[in-house]
């Protein structure tokens, strides 16, 4: 909306999104190595600062080039956070011998992240109605900086070997090498995490299913809550390979019905999917060598893989809508189930 109201065309907006994605892909693995070589907590702090700077550029320079620069800053910030956060949390638990608690903590993080979307959407609506894009933008800047302040308080276990004896490029190569023996777990995370790109189409689906535009936000507000429920259950229940297959099947049924009540099935699909996502992310962390100093780099390899697989999700949507995406989800489920 900000881009369109600033006079940008659809093609220009598409270019901006491409700049954002390209930045994330290019910076993903190098930023993971940066976190491993220096400081994962420092990368989280820098991530919030860069994203805040990106939003500030949008507010001050609401033009194509201003938005492009903002997306580059946001892409760099997102890449710094990806991999570093998981590695920081896992190693902090492992330092106390509590790495088996990672699945529960990861589930809680996912749950809170999804639940937070509801009040944030309400607050954003109020901010926009009071102060438009300016107030909403500066509030976003403040929140990103606040996240950096919170990150400063995260404990970070000492990693003397990485800090004193290992160079940056050595760390990078180590992470890439260590991703090879556990490539199945890396590929599983890449495939499953890529499915999350489909979330961007939820509101479009609601409109296609004859939900009046005015009611789309309310009709879809329960989707992140059902996703949060699935993520929360992942911390309590064991993984089953058929759950993702069932999620794809539920999505296909919802798409074939294509009526407003089918949004409930869409929410069920999303809850099942988030359940699986928590488990595959946790499995990857468990399979990474406990003594490695390149955990963030290995995790970033999976993240960059998900960016590439996401194009298959976009292609499935173009070819056959939600039904095609559901079929692709079922195929991914079969691959993971067998492996």
CA distance 216 to 92: 41
CA distance 337 to 244: 9
Q: What is the pLDDT of residue 203?
A: 82
User: If pLDDT is split at 50, 70 and 90, which confidence band does 64 have?
Assistant: very high
Residue-wise pLDDT tens digits, 244-282: 999 999 999 999 999 999 999 999 999 999 999 999 999
Q: Which of 38-42, 164-168, 327-331, 333-337 has the highest mean pLDDT?
A: 327-331
Sequence-separated contacts (24+) of 91-100 with Cβ below 8 Å: 91/40, 91/157, 91/159, 91/295, 92/154, 92/155, 92/156, 92/157, 94/157, 94/290, 95/157, 99/285, 99/286, 99/290
User: If pLDDT is split at 50, 70 and 90, which confidence band does 191 have?
Assistant: very high
Q: What is the CA radius of gyration of the chain?
A: 20
Question: What CATH number does the domain located at 1-82+116-155 have?
Answer: 1.20.1250.20
- Name the segment(s) of the chain with CATH classification 1.20.1250.20: 1-82+116-155
Residue-wise pLDDT tens digits, 111-131: 998 899 888 878 888 888 889
User: If pLDDT is split at 50, 70 and 90, which confidence band does 140 have?
Assistant: very high
| Average pLDDT in the chain | 87
- Give the total residue count for the chain: 339
Q: What is the pLDDT of residue 22?
A: 85
62-66, 186-190, 299-303: least confident range: 299-303
Question: What CATH number does the domain located at 164-339 have?
Answer: 1.20.1250
What's the rounded mean pLDDT across residues 283-294? 82
CA dihedral 144, 150, 151, 156 (to 10 degrees): 180
Which pair of tokens denotes residue 107? 């589930």
Q: What is the pLDDT of residue 267?
A: 95
Q: What is the pLDDT of residue 227?
A: 94
Judged against a pLDDT cut of 90, whether residue 52 lies above it is answered with yes
CB atoms inside a 10 Å sphere around CB 115: 17
What's the rounded mean pLDDT across residues 159-173? 60
Judged against a pLDDT cut of 70, whether residue 206 lies above it is answered with yes
Please name which of 312, 223, 338, 234 lies closest in space to residue 280, comparing C-alpha atoms.
234
Q: Angle 175-19-23 (CA atoms, 0-180°, nearest 5)?
A: 15
Judged against a pLDDT cut of 60, whether residue 166 lies above it is answered with no
Helix-, strand-, coil-residue percentages of the chain, each rounded to 5: 85, 0, 15
Convert 74-104 to b/e letters by CB count within 10 Å (16 or more is b). bbbbbbbbbbbbbbbbbbbbbeeeebeebbb
């Amino acid at each position: 909306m900000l881009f369109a109201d600033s006079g940008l065309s659809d093609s220009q907006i598409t270019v901006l999104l491409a700049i954002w994605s390209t930045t994330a892909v290019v910076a993903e693995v190098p930023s993971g190595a940066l976190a491993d070589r220096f400081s994962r907590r420092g990368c989280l702090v820098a991530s919030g600062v860069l994203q805040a700077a990106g939003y500030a550029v949008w507010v001050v320079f609401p033009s194509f080039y201003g938005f492009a620069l903002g997306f580059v800053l946001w892409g760099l910030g997102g890449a710094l956070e990806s991999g570093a956060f998981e590695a920081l949390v896992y190693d902090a638990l492992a330092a106390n011998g509590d790495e088996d608690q990672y699945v529960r903590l990861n589930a809680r993080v996912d749950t809170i992240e999804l639940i937070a979307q509801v009040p944030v959407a309400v607050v954003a609506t109020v901010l926009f109605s009071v102060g438009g894009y300016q107030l909403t933008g500066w509030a976003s800047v403040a929140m990103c900086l606040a996240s950096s302040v919170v990150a400063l308080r995260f404990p970070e276990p000492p990693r003397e070997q990485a800090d004193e004896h290992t160079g940056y490029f050595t760390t990078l190569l180590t992470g890439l090498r260590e991703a090879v023996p556990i490539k199945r777990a890396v590929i599983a995370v890449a495939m499953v995490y890529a499915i999350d790109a489909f979330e961007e189409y939820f509101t479009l689906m609601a409109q296609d299913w004859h939900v009046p535009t005015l009611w789309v936000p309310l009709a879809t507000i329960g989707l992140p809550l059902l996703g949060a429920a699935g993520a929360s259950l992942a911390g309590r229940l064991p993984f089953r390979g058929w759950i993702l297959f069932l999620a794809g099947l539920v999505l296909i049924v919802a798409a074939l019905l294509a009526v407003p009540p089918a949004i409930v099935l869409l929410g069920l699909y999303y809850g099942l999917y988030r359940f699986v996502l928590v488990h595959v992310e946790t499995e990857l962390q468990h399979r990474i060598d406990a003594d490695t100093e390149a955990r963030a780099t290995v995790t970033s390899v999976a993240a960059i893989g998900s960016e590439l697989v996401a194009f298959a999700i976009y292609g499935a949507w173009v070819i056959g809508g939600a039904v095609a995406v559901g079929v692709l989800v079922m195929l991914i489920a079969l691959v993971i189930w067998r492996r």
